[in-house]
Amino acid sequence: MTRAEIRAAISLAAIYMFRMLGLFLILPVFSIYARDLPDATPALIGLAISAYGLTQAIFQIPFGIWSDRFGRKPLIVIGLLMFTAGSVMAAVTDSIYGIVAGRALQGAGAVAGVVMALAADLTQEEHRTKAMALIGISIGISFAFSMVAGPVLAGWIGVKGIFWAVAGLALLGIVVLYTAVPTPRLLRFHRDTEAQPARFASVLANPELVRLDVGIFALHAILTATFVALPLILRDQLHMDMPEHWKIYLPVFVLSMVSMVPFVIVAEKKRQMKPVFLAFILLTAAVDAGLAGLVPTTFGIGVLLYLFFTGFNLLEATLPSMVSKVAPPDLKGTAMGVYSTTQFLGAFVGGAGGGWIQGHYGIPAVFLFCAAMALLWLAVAFGMEKPRHLSSLMVNLGEISASAATDLSARLRGVPGIADAVVVPDDGVVYLKIERERLDRSLLESVLNEAARA
C-alpha cells in the first residue's frame, strides 16, 4: 500500500471506531442506569439500548446511495452530526423516551457504508482488502474496549457523561475526515463494497447467503438481549458496583480472544469450517441455557461469560468471511449490505424483545430466549454447504467491450484455481473468486495481459 492509502485506511478506521464506541459504550451499563429514570420499564430500557439498530438498518443503504450522488465526505459529515445530535439529546434528557429518541437518531446517522465506499475510492483494487480488514479490526477493538471501559467511565463521569464524550468523538471524527483523509479525485461505484438495490433479489434467493444473514441476525439479537439482563445480575445478585464490572469483563475478553485462535486455525487451515461453526453455535445455546439456570456466583458467571465471548468472537469473525466466500464476485457489496442490515435488525430485536421478556417473565427468561434463538440458528445452519476456501481478487483492466468482457470471463474461468470470474465492462474491473493454493498466477497474468492489449 502507498503512504496515502495507509493514511486513508488508518484515519477512516479511526472515524469508524469513534462512531462504534458511541454505540457500544453504554451496552454494559445502561440497564442499571436507566432503572432510576422516570417512566422506565424493562421494555423501554431494552428499546433504548437497541433503538439505534432499527434506524441504522433503515438508513445505511440509502446513505451509501446518496453518497454516490452527493459525495462521500458531505454524507459522512451529515451522519456524524446526526450522531452528535442524538448523543446530546440522550445526555440532556432525564426521560427514558428522550434517550430512546436520542439512540434512534444516533443510528440514523448511518455512515458505515459510506466510510467503506470512501476507503474503496482511496485504495487500489489489489490493496482494498487490507484497508477493509483494518476497518474491521477497529470494530472489534471498539467492542472490546467498550465492554471494559464502559463501566469505568460510568463510575467516573456517569452515563450522561458517556453520551457527552461520544458526542465529542463524533465531532473529532469530522476533524479527522477533513485533516487526515485524502479527497478522492474520482467517485466510483464499487461492487465489492456498495449495495446494488436492483440485485437484492439475487442475494435473497441464495440459500447459503440467507443462512448467514439469519446467523448474524441471531448473533446480535443474542448479544443485545444478554446485555439487557447481565449487568443487573452483576449488580443485584453478585453485589458488584457498576464501576467494578470491568474486573469480570477484562479477563473474560482477554482469555476468549486467545482461546478462539486455535479454533480459527482449525476452521481455516484444516478446512473444518462447518463443524467448528456449528459447534460454536451450540456452545452459545448451552451458555445461555446455563445463564438461565445458574445460581449466580462470580466464578460461575465468569466461566460462562468466557465461553460466551469465545463463541461470540469466533462467530463474529467468521460470518463476514463466509459471506465474502459465498457471494458471487460482483455481488459482494450487495451481499454485505443485506448482511449488515440484518445484523442491525437483530440488535434491535434483541434489545427490544429482551427488555419486553424481562419485564413480563424475568431475567432467566431472557437467557432462555437467547438459547432458543441460538438453537433456531443451529437448525438453519445445519443444512449449509461445506464452505469453499475462496478469496476475492479484483483487477483494474480498463476499457473493454461487452463482447470482449464475456469472452474474457469464460477464459478466466478456465484458469486453474479460479472458481468464478465476472468482468464488468462499465467499470473496467475483473472480479475473481480464487483458490490461492491452486491458482496458476502466470497463466492468469498472461490472460489479463492479452486482454489489456486487445
d(CA 142, CA 346): 19
Distance, in Å, from the CA atom of 61 to the CA atom of 65, rounded to the nearest integer, reads: 6
Q: How far apart are the first and last CA of the chain?
A: 29
Mean pLDDT of 229-236: 92
pLDDT digits (tens, 9 = 90+) for 283-297: 999 999 999 988 888
Lowest model confidence (mean pLDDT) among 213-217, 246-250, 328-332, 368-372: 328-332
Decide if pLDDT at 454 tops 70: no
Residue 96, pLDDT score: 96
pLDDT the model gives residue 112: 87
Cα distance between residue 87 and residue 105, in whole Å? 8
The x, y and z cell numbers of residue 133, run together, are 480488514
Q: Higher pLDDT residue, 127 or 437?
A: 437
Percentage of the chain beyond pLDDT 90 is 54
Region of poorest pLDDT, from 99-103, 133-137, 222-226 = 133-137
| pLDDT of 162 over the 70 cut | yes
Region of poorest pLDDT, from 223-232, 335-344, 435-444? 435-444
* Among the ranges given (138-152, 337-351, 387-401), the one the predictor scored with the smallest mean pLDDT: 387-401
Of the two residues 77 and 391, the one the predictor is more confident about is 77
Q: Which of 43-47, 232-236, 317-321 has the highest mean pLDDT?
A: 43-47
DSSP string, 87-122: HHHHHH--SHHHHHHHHHHHHHS--HHHHHHHHHHT
Task: Say how far apart CA 377 and CA 214 lie, in whole Å.
Answer: 7
The Cα 422–Cα 432 span in angstroms is 7
Closest to 282 measured CA to CA, from 201, 216, 403, 377? 377
Higher per-residue confidence, 272 vs 426? 272
- Collapsed DSSP state (helix, strand, coil) of residue 394: strand
Rounded mean pLDDT, 164-187: 91
Of the ranges 219-228, 379-388, 441-450, the best mean pLDDT one: 219-228
Domains for the chain: give ranges and CATH numbers.
Answer: 1-182 (1.20.1250.20), 206-388 (1.20.1250.20), 391-453 (3.30.70.100)
* Spatial separation of the C-alpha atoms in residues 305 and 256, rounded to whole Å: 9
Report, as an integer, the average pLDDT of 359-365.
95
Mean pLDDT of 210-228: 96
| Mean pLDDT value of segment 112-122 | 87
Model-level pTM? 0.92
Q: Decide: 209 and 336 in contact? Cβ < 8 Å.
A: no
How remote is the C-alpha of 161 from its chain's centroid? Answer: 26
Least confident of 28-32, 170-174, 250-254, 449-453: 449-453
Average pLDDT over residues 84-112: 94
- Average pLDDT, whole number, for the chain? 90
For the segment 342-357, the average pLDDT, to the nearest whole number, is 96
Residue 404 pLDDT class (50, 70, 90 cuts): confident
Q: How many CB atoms lie within 10 A of CB 88?
A: 17
Q: In which band, very low, low, confident or very high, does the pLDDT at 122 lie, cut at 50, 70 and 90?
A: confident
- Round to whole Å and give the CA distance between 141 and 316: 13
pLDDT classification of 126: cutoffs 50, 70, 90: low
Q: How many CB atoms lie within 10 A of CB 20?
A: 21
Q: Is the pLDDT of residue 138 over 90?
A: no
C-alpha dist (Å) from residue 56 to 23, 72, 103, 104, 345: 11, 17, 10, 8, 8
Per the CB < 8 A criterion, the answer to whether 190 and 42 are in contact is no
Mean pLDDT value of segment 96-108: 96
pLDDT (average), residues 15-23: 89
Q: What is the CA radius of gyration of the chain?
A: 23
